[in-house]
Amino acid sequence: MSAAGSAPASRRVALVTGGTRGIGFGCARALAAARFDLALVGVRSEAEAGEPLGELRAAGAEVLYVQVDIGDDDAADRIVAAVRGRFGRLDVLVNNAGVAPKERRDILEATRESFDRLVRINTRGPYFLTQAAARFMMEAMTDGPRPCIVFVTSISATTASINRGDYCISKAGLSMAARLWAVRLAEAGIPVYEVRPGIIRTDMTAKVAAKYEELFEAGLALQKRWGTPEDVGRAVAMLARGDLPYSTGAVIMVDGGVAVPRL
């Protein structure tokens, strides 16, 4: 870090929410390998997240950790202020943090409490973090590589699961948020993308692993395997590097062919 507290000019800065576990950690590892410094957001304490943070620092990234619930009303301002104070710039925002329902329930039995929790964290939080981050990006923009924003959603944005309707609705809303921000930020030269994972092996899917194993064997995906956080991370790093500069608003499927219509 320079004497002024900013990252060296040769190092770009990526902010990844939920970046110390699961898909978010896969994204953070890929971005560290692509020579990004990192600002990571999570609800665990920094001590609890020590192992993944240590791995990323050992890979050469300067890492800032911000402990905050993305769904809190002041989360966006706190996160962007922390990034501004540490790095003085923001080149990439990866909206990854999200939660599943604590209990899967048929939509006839679903609760308002679960619905409000998922929309608050999965949709409202990233929407307003993008607002704050985009303002900062435009303010700090230089003649160098363009900043970009990535929304990590889910095939549940378009695939109905009646035992977790709240999750599907929250991800469908997030998908529309990605499209809205792509339209709004095009004039500022900031591309916005959606990365839409399929069935990814993480802590979130561990409880229903047996179900998905059976579905894979039955032909759920064209590629008969689980997706990995590394699969998603590769896609995010590609976008962060600027490899698809003429594709703002694009949806990048990382699902092994689950969403391909078949007869």
**Which residues are part of the catalytic machinery?**
167
In order, the DSSP letters of 96-144 are: ------SS---TTT--HHHHHHHHIIIIIHHHHHHHHHHHHHHHH--SS
Distance from C-alpha of 129 to C-alpha of 219, rounded to nearest angstrom: 38
In order, the DSSP letters of 146-208 are: PPEEEEE--GGGTS--TT-HHHHHHHHHHHHHHHHHHHHHGGGT--EEEEEE-SB-SHHHHTT
**Quick one: tokens of 224?**
């008969």
Q: Are the C-beta atoms of 148 and 235 separated by less than 8 Å?
A: no
**Quick one: tokens of 67?**
């402990």
Q: Which residue has the tokens 């993308």?
A: 193
How many CB atoms are located within 10 Å of the residue 110 CB? 18
